[in-house]
Structure 1
């Protein structure tokens, strides 16, 4: 009897092991189910709003945006044929250039001409919108500003075909420096860039003022070159 008792104890201990393992396994599964039920789904992170990238990332050199031969034709006696560039703290977003000169005709008087081109470029912004839409807003403001020029008379505005994605030509008369000036302003938008060309002239010392139709034709030519130079600068 003394020898069989220890053997019986060992058999009973071994038989109990599977029961303990099964119990432990069941306990583990129950806790896992409990954790799974109590776990909360992780909220998804909403993506930031996206906008279409702007088509153009830079501007042309303003004083080179209008061809030299065009400048020579529109401003025959320009003081500085290379033009006077506007000061800008961000040449990739805005810039401009101007030419002016007085062409003496002797006894027939003198002809004054002034030509300017300015650019404004917009980047796309998630909070403000696509660059081309922002340019559309600025384009409309430029047209309205030209039509509302103080002292302007005989104001007309009409679409200018063949210039950029959209363009408007504004013409008017303006009396200043004891002369009757004729003005032609062409505002054009190409994708996310707006170009504004202003061309005006007057006759002095008995010379007649330039014809409005001729002035407008020349302004549209300069505006088309300015608009085309935007795409060329981004190739």
Structure 2
């Protein structure tokens, strides 16, 4: 009996060893699981940081070249208007109505030069300015002026009743310009027309010059009318740059 009693503690001690190993093993697994949890959290944090969107750059547009328009009725010299419209009703020109003179304006001259038995000569000259501001949603002032040059040119080319219409490039007038020559029958007379559509920077210049002979007088030549229109258009374009110095 004594031997059995002395052996009992040793048996119990040996029986306890596997239990300690299991506990140690679980404890080790538990530690590994904790590390994995920490690593997973770090991965999620890093992924979240890398997924943060980069702020988009603020949209920009090229600034408009010209900030204002010239005094329209003074954009063409008095000497030129007097030569193109000899008997103008209003020598200083008649300004067109405008609600925003900083963006658009116009002026016209017209008159009948009565030569008695030799008949009469009628002339009409008008000029309009359109200034386009730069806008992020609409584009730069220059781009907008280019777009509207195309539209305005199309309008002239589609003039109802126009005959012998011809479009040419007008050199030496702003960055780009087109000249349109045509004839039009009005009030039982043959009118000769010349229109110039020109762009300088962000400003569009529209100019029209026409004439007719009355009471038996001959109609003016196409060359004379076109030369007059080109001369006036060059002065109008130059006036834009002068107004912004």
Unaligned runs of 5+ in 2: 1-40
Task: Name the structure with the higher helix share.
Answer: 2
Over 4 Å off, 4+ runs: 37-44
Structure 2 CA distance for aligned equivalents of residues 182 and 207 of structure 1: 13
Structure 2 CA distance for aligned equivalents of residues 150 and 100 of structure 1: 22
- Kindly state the Cα deviation for residue 38 of structure 1 after the two structures are TM-superposed: 4.5
* Corresponding residue number in structure 1 for 2:72: 62
Does 1:90 pair with 2:100? yes
* Corresponding residue number in structure 2 for 1:21: none
Structure 2 CA distance for aligned equivalents of residues 67 and 222 of structure 1: 8
Structure 1 CA distance for aligned equivalents of residues 116 and 171 of structure 2: 38
Could you tell me the TM-score, scaled by structure 2's length?
0.79
* Corresponding residue number in structure 2 for 1:220: 230
Does 1:167 pair with 2:177? yes
Corresponding residue SS for 2:173: coil
- Kindly state the Cα deviation for residue 177 of structure 1 after the two structures are TM-superposed: 1.1
Which has the higher Rg, Structure 1 or Structure 2? 2
What is the aligned residue count? 203
* Corresponding residue number in structure 2 for 1:4: none
Could you tell me the TM-score, scaled by structure 1's length?
0.82
Spell out the pairing of 1:38-77 with structure 2 (5 A cutoff). Answer: 38=45, 41=49, 43-77=53-87
> Which of 132, 138, 145 does residue 148 from structure 2 map onto?
138
Unaligned runs of 5+ in 1: 1-33
Corresponding residue SS for 2:67: coil
* Corresponding residue number in structure 2 for 1:124: 134
* Corresponding residue number in structure 1 for 2:25: none
